[in-house]
Amino acid sequence: MGTVRILLPPLRLLTRIAFRAGGPLLGVALLRSLAPGWVLLRADPLERRFAWGEEAVAVYRTLMTRAHPHHAHRDGLARALSLHAHVLLLTGRHEDALAAADEALAVPRARASSTQTAYTFLVRALALAETGRLDESLRVARECVAAYRNAGRPARGDRSLGSLLGALRTHAWVLARFPRHEESVEIYLECRALLRSMSLWKLLGVQSVQARVMIELTGGLRALGRYDEAVAAGTDAREWTDGLPPRLYPEILALRARLLTDLAWCHGATGDLPRARDTAEQAVAVSRALTGRHPADGEHRLVLALHCLAHQLGELDIPAGERLTLRELADLCTRLARTRPEAYVPLLAEALDDLAFSHRRQGAHRKAVEAARGSVDAYRRATETDPRTYEPELARTLANLSVRQRATGGYEAAVSHGREALAITRRLADADRDTYQPLVADRLRILARALRRARNEPEALSCYEEAETVLRELMEHAEPGIHEAALSATLSALAATLRTSAEAHLAAGRADEAVSALRRLLALTRRADQSDVHASCLAAFDRAREQSPDEVRQAWRRATTDPYPSFVYRAP
């Protein structure tokens, strides 16, 4: 291969002098240079391979027009287009890669080998998946697998043009993009069985594909919740890939970062939290190293690794480390969101939400409010582009912000954000009652607490009573035990609010309003089987009797024509 590349300059000179003599020789040399080389040799830079691909395509196009075209020229153009399509795919020019692969298949009367055709299908399947055309990609991936199965033993010149293993891996990868993880994992397991049947010599030529198969299998098993199997597969993959040098396998750092992150999540899911933390820290370290070589890839992997590490530190109750990690994650997402908001604004919102929770757990309520406000702002931005996905999260974080602002004395802001959270949740419940109606009751209670602290007790009472109505309706149509705790908390809060409302009216000399609150409290006592509700009722009536007995009795008679009750216990 090196000798061929040395001949390229003189062949170019010969082509300029005598195209018909030098053009075919230059085309063949360029095709030899473009073909993937021996696995233990460092691959040529993509920029150089891209230039060779463009030159090879240009040479064979010219041969088709300037010289008398014959089969060798047609075959060369099809092969050049196929190889160049693969390089275009590696450089991220997916549409161009797809166009080149389509043209390679459409060269008239070209005699492409079965292996070359299968290789072109492979490039097409990957390019279609990267452009979001998954249905077409899946169809082409199946054709690719069938083509490699039928190709038989490849000719010497075609041995570098992919393999059945690579086609199966592509098929599984496309299925995972849907996501159809069960089908994907089945094919990955077929790939693993195929690898185990290969000799050591054959394995040398597929080490890159082998790494992807084992690492993607680990991710697929994790997605299915088969964590023990994922740990076993990931441990095997880790032992094998740790020996692959980045110099010969430039993609290995990104694969290793992904593997370590998946393994950390799986260790955590199986209860091995110390190992999960250690593995997540290693994932962060590998991602930092990758960032130095390939910033775009590395920063994305670093985001995922930091998120995993923060979660494991939280599970181990290491709050200082968790907050530092979340702060770094939020800062990184803030920077990346400037150029790719669709990818990193949601991740920023999630990181700030977790940071707010961590601050609140440690009693740093003002810092929790600041982080929660940032999370709400980020979810607002995400909702603008994808309301169906992120509007529920916006409602949730608004409710959380209301709770945290109430804890710091920001009652008016807490009411405002509580109202907005409730309004969004009501709108979501109109479309999906089963999912969001319980959340309507929850958001009503959050708003009621904020209203009560803001001294707006009439509206707070309305919210509590509506929450009670919603919960009782839900209990009629579902398993009652699901909502019992929420109903109990709502009734307790409603009773306490009615009691304080009655006392406030009495203190202000508003006996009629106090009696109205007492009547509502008595009605609540009659329908609630809760000791704290009954205690609130008894205490409120005793307080009213002691503080303003004459005014309360008169107001009661005006409202009911009955005497003031002397017995307010719940009937057994």
Task: Name residue 332's amino acid.
Answer: L
First to last CA, the chain: 96
Question: In the prediction, which pLDDT does 314 show?
Answer: 95
Element (H, E) at 330: helix 319-337
DSSP assignment of 495-552 equals: HHHHHHHHHHHHHTT-HHHHHHHHHHHHHHHHH---HHHHHHHHHHHHHHHHH-HHHH
Q: Give the DSSP letter of residue 42.
A: P
> Are the C-beta atoms of 120 and 85 separated by less than 8 Å?
yes
Residues 46-51: contacts with CB within 8 Å, 24+ apart?
A: 46/87, 46/90, 46/91, 49/87, 50/84, 50/87, 50/88, 50/91
Joined together, the tokens standing for residue 423 give: 């309004």
Global pTM? Answer: 0.85
Low-confidence ranges of the chain (pLDDT < 50): 38-41, 572
**Burial track 35-65 (b if 16+ CB lie within 10 A, e otherwise):** bbeeeeeeebeeeebbebbebbbebbeebbe
> Are the C-beta atoms of 320 and 349 separated by less than 8 Å?
no
3-state helix, strand, coil in the chain (%, to 5): 80, 0, 20
Q: Rounded to whole angstroms, how far apart are CA atoms 425 and 416?
A: 14
Question: In the prediction, which pLDDT does 446 show?
Answer: 97
Joined together, the tokens standing for residue 230 give: 């994922």
CB-count exposure of residue 445 (10 Å: 0-12, 13-18, 19+): buried
Q: What are φ and ψ of residue 534, in 5° steps?
A: -65, -40
> Are the C-beta atoms of 59 and 21 separated by less than 8 Å?
no
CA nearest to 434, candidates 474, 406, 472, 407: 474
Q: Give the DSSP letter of residue 481.
A: G
Question: In the prediction, which pLDDT does 169 show?
Answer: 95
Task: Name residue 559's amino acid.
Answer: A
> Are the C-beta atoms of 53 and 46 separated by less than 8 Å?
no
